Structure 1
Amino acid sequence: MRIAILGGTGAMGRLIARELRDDGHEVVITGSNPHTAERVARELDVEAAPTNVDAAKDADVVVVSVPISVTEDVIREVAPHVPEGSLLTDVTSVKVRPVRAMLEHAPEDVYVLGTHPLFGPTVPSLRGQTVILTPTERSGPWTRRVRRYLERKGARVVETTPEEHDRTMAVVQCLTHAVLLAAGAAIGRFLPSLELDIEEVASPVYRLLMDVVGRIAGQDPRLYAEIQAFNPYGDEAREELLRALRRFHEHAHDHNALTEYIAESRERLGRELDLEACQRRTDKLLSYLADELRILQEGIEAILLDVYTNEALEGEVTGDRDTIRLDGRELPRDRYKILPRCPKELAHFDGEVTVLELRTGADPGDVAAVVDALGRNLRALRAERRGERVRVEVEYTGKESLEGLLRKLRALGLEVRVAR
C-alpha cells in the first residue's frame, strides 16, 4: 500500500513513517522545505515528493501531519487530488474543523476518517498507547481497517465523534496544559528570589509536579499554543479554571471557608475519580523513585531499559541522583528504567514477540529449552515442528537480546531465521 505523509519531516510524521515503513508499506513524505524532505527521506529509507499534491495524487492513504494552524490549508490544497477509493485522514489534536474540511473538500468517492494519537513522537512503539478515531459517514471500511491495524500494533483504540473528541480534549489537554504551564510560569518567577536551594527542601509532590511541568514546558511551544487556540471548547474549560482559582484565592485568608471549598471540590471530584486509587498510584510511583535511588547507591545486577528505544543493557549498576554507572560508562538516569535481575522463571516480560525458525531434527521442547538457556532478557513461549523446521515463539526485551541469541544459535552451527 502506498501511503503519503504530508508533514513527514516533523517528529510525529517521522514516527508514523517509520512504523509504516517497517510494516512493509511504500511510504512517501513531504515537508515545508523540499531539501529537508529529501534528507529525512534518505534517513528513513522512504521516498520524498516535491509537493503535497505530488505525494497525494497516487496514494492509497493520505495522512495530514502538519501543525494545527495550517491543517485546513493543507487539506484544501490536497483533498481534491486524492484518488477515488483512497483514504484521507489527519493526526491533529483537534477534530471538528479538520474533519469538516476533509468532508467539504475531498471528492465524494474519497474516504474520510479523523484520528488523534494521544502520545508524543518519542514513544518506542505503539504498544500500550491510545489512539482516538472519529469516524464519519464517509469512513466506509477504513474505520475497521485502521482500528485493526492499530490494535495489532498493541495500541488501544477509542471511537467517538469529532465534537465529543474536542469537548473531552478541552479538559484533557486545554485545561490540563493551562494548569501546568501557568504553574510553571508562576514558579519560574519565584525561583530566582529564593535563598534556599529548592532541590534540598522540595517535597515529593513538588518534584513530581515539576517533572510534569518541565515535560510540557520543554516541548514545542507552538503545539501547545495551537491546541489552546483551535479547540472550539477551550474557552469554556479555561474560564472554569479561572473561576476555581478566583474562589480559591478569595477564601485563602479564611481557613474555614477554604476548608469547606476544598471539601466541596473533593466531594465533586470523588464522584468521578477513585481518590484512594489516585493516592495509591502516586504512592507507588514515589516509592519506586526512592527505591531506584537506593538500588543505585547500593549497587545491583540489573537490566537497563532505554525508555525511548527499548534497547537493553545489563550488568552491575551503581549511581546517584543524576547518573547511572555501568561497566565504566556514565549514563543519564532519567533515560533508563532499572529492572533488578531475577530468575527467569519469576520474571515478568512485557516486550516484543517474534518467531524463530530453526532447521533441526531435535525435539521442539529441547529447542525451547536451549533458547531459554542461551537467551538473556528473553524466554521461549512455545515451540512446534513444521516439517524440517522447529518454530519457536520468543518474547524478548530489547533488540540486543534477540540479536545475541541469534549469534549464539548460529555459532552452534544451527540454521536460524526470524519468521516474523
Structure 2
Amino acid sequence: MEVLVVGAGAMGRWAGETLDAEFEVAFADRDPDAASAAADDTGGRVVALDTTATFDAVCIAVPITAARTAIESHADQASRAMFDVTGVMADPVTAMREHLPERERVSLHPLFAPENAPGNVAAVIDARGPVTEAALDAIDDAGNHVFETDPEEHDSAMETVQAGAHTAILAYALAAEDVREEFATPVSRALSDLVGTVTEGTPRVYREIQESFEGADAVAAAAKRIAEADGEAFERLYEEARGKRRRQGGPTDPGEASADDELTEGDAAEESTTGDDSTRGDRQ
C-alpha cells in the first residue's frame, strides 16, 4: 500500500517514518526541498503538491489552520482512506466526512513533539477499514499508545492540556523575576523546566493552538481569584485545587502527600533545590 504524506515538517516526517512499516511513503510539500529531505530520511519518494496520482491513503500533516483546505484539495488522491495529524479534530473530521464520504477516515493527534516519540496518540476512528487499521497497527508497533476518543472530547481536553497549560507556563515565564539559581525550589525549578520545554518550540505552532482552543481566559480568571484572595479565601482556593488534583488521580491518602505538603513553616527554608525533569505531552 502507498500513503501520501502532505506536509514535510516535523510531524509529517514522524508520520512518514512511523507509517513506513506498513506503507510505501511519498511526501508532498509546498517546499520541495523539505519534501526531498523528508523522503531521503525515510527512504520515501517525492511527488508534486498538485499531483493527480492516487494513493491508498493520504495523511494530512499541515498546520491546524490549513487542515480543511488540505483535506479538500487532496481528497481525490485518497483512493481508500485519509487520516490527519493536525492536532485538532472536530473540523478535520467534518471535512473528511464531507469530501470522503465513502472512504476510511481517522483523525490522529500524537500528544508529543516528534523528538519525544513514542507516546500517547488520540484517535477518532470515524470510518474504520483495512487501510486505517494498517496505519493504526504501524503507530502501535512503533511503541505508541493509541486510544480512542471523539472530536468533542478531544477538542475540549485540549482547552486544558494545551491552551490552558501553555497559558499558565508562559504567564509564569513573563511574570518571573531573575533570581539566583540558589533560590530555586522544587516547584520553581519544575516550572522553569516547563518554560524551557515550551519556549524551545515554534511560536507559530503555539499561536495556532491558542487560536484554535479556548482555555487561556479560564487560567487568567483563576490567577485573578488567587491574587485577590485574602487569607481564608486563599485557603479555600488551595483546598479547591487540591480536591481537583485528587479527582484527577493525585494522592488521596494523607500518607501519600507530596514532599511540599509535609513541610512545616520552619522546614520551608530547608527545601531541596533538586526537582524532577519535566516532559510535555503535546505537539505541540
Q: Quickly name the TM-score band, shorter chain normalised.
A: 0.7 to 0.9
**Conserved 8 A contact 2:60-2:67:** yes
Paired with 1:263 and 1:166, the residues of 2 have a C-alpha distance of 28
Deviations 1:316-336 (A, max 9, x none): xxxxxxxxxxxxxxxxxxxxx
User: What is the 5 A alignment of 1:81-92?
Assistant: 81-83=77-79, 86-92=80-86
User: What is the 5 A alignment of 1:82-231?
Assistant: 82-83=78-79, 86-106=80-100, 108-123=101-116, 125-126=117-118, 129-136=119-126, 138-142=127-131, 144-187=133-176, 190-191=177-178, 197-231=179-213
**Conserved 8 A contact 1:62-1:89:** yes
Q: Give the aligned partner of residue 247 of structure 1.
A: 225
**Conserved 8 A contact 1:6-1:52:** no
Q: Does 1:13 align with 2:12?
A: yes
CA deviation after TM superposition for structure 1 residue 278, in Å = 7.6
Q: Does 1:238 align with 2:212?
A: no
**Conserved 8 A contact 1:3-1:28:** yes
Paired with 1:143 and 1:82, the residues of 2 have a C-alpha distance of 12
Amino acid at match of 2:92: P
Deviations 1:235-294 (A, max 9, x none): xx333222211211111xx223222321233234323332366837xx9xx99x6799xx
Q: Does 1:45 align with 2:43?
A: yes
**Conserved 8 A contact 2:59-2:85:** yes
Q: Give the aligned partner of residue 31 of structure 1.
A: 29
CA deviation after TM superposition for structure 1 residue 99, in Å = 1.0
**Conserved 8 A contact 1:64-1:71:** yes
Paired with 1:52 and 1:158, the residues of 2 have a C-alpha distance of 33
CA deviation after TM superposition for structure 1 residue 142, in Å = 4.8
Deviations 1:300-347 (A, max 9, x none): xxxxxxx9xxxxxxxxxxxxxxxxxxxxxxxxxxxxxxxxxxxxxxxx
CA deviation after TM superposition for structure 1 residue 43, in Å = 4.0
Is the alpha carbon distance of 1:291 and 1:61 closer, same or farther for their aligned partners in structure 2, counting shifts above 3 Å? closer
Q: Does 1:76 align with 2:72?
A: yes
Deviations 1:20-39 (A, max 9, x none): 33x26311001121233234
SS in 1 for 2:114: coil
Deviations 1:349-407 (A, max 9, x none): xxxxxxxxxxxxxxxxxxxxxxxxxxxxxxxxxxxxxxxxxxxxxxxxxxxxxxxxxxx
Q: What TM-score do you get using the length of structure 2 for normalisation? A: 0.83
1:279 to 258, 270, 280: 258
Paired with 2:257 and 2:24, the residues of 1 have a C-alpha distance of 44
Q: What TM-score do you get using the length of structure 1 for normalisation? A: 0.58
**Conserved 8 A contact 1:53-1:77:** no
CA deviation after TM superposition for structure 1 residue 213, in Å = 1.1
SS in 2 for 1:113: strand
Aligned-residue Cα RMSD (Å) equals 3.0
CA deviation after TM superposition for structure 1 residue 144, in Å = 4.1
SS in 2 for 1:279: coil
Amino acid at match of 1:14: R
Paired with 1:140 and 1:263, the residues of 2 have a C-alpha distance of 48
CA deviation after TM superposition for structure 1 residue 227, in Å = 1.2
Amino acid at match of 2:197: R
Task: Indicate the structure whose relative CO is greater, using CA pairs within 8 Å and at least 6 residues apart.
Answer: 2
- In the comparison of the two structures, how many residue pairs are matched? 267
Q: Which has the larger radius of gyration?
A: 1
CA deviation after TM superposition for structure 1 residue 71, in Å = 1.2
Identity %: 31
Paired with 1:212 and 1:290, the residues of 2 have a C-alpha distance of 12
SS in 2 for 1:3: strand
Deviations 1:124-160 (A, max 9, x none): x53xx11111021x33345544443333332211101
**Conserved 8 A contact 1:3-1:26:** yes
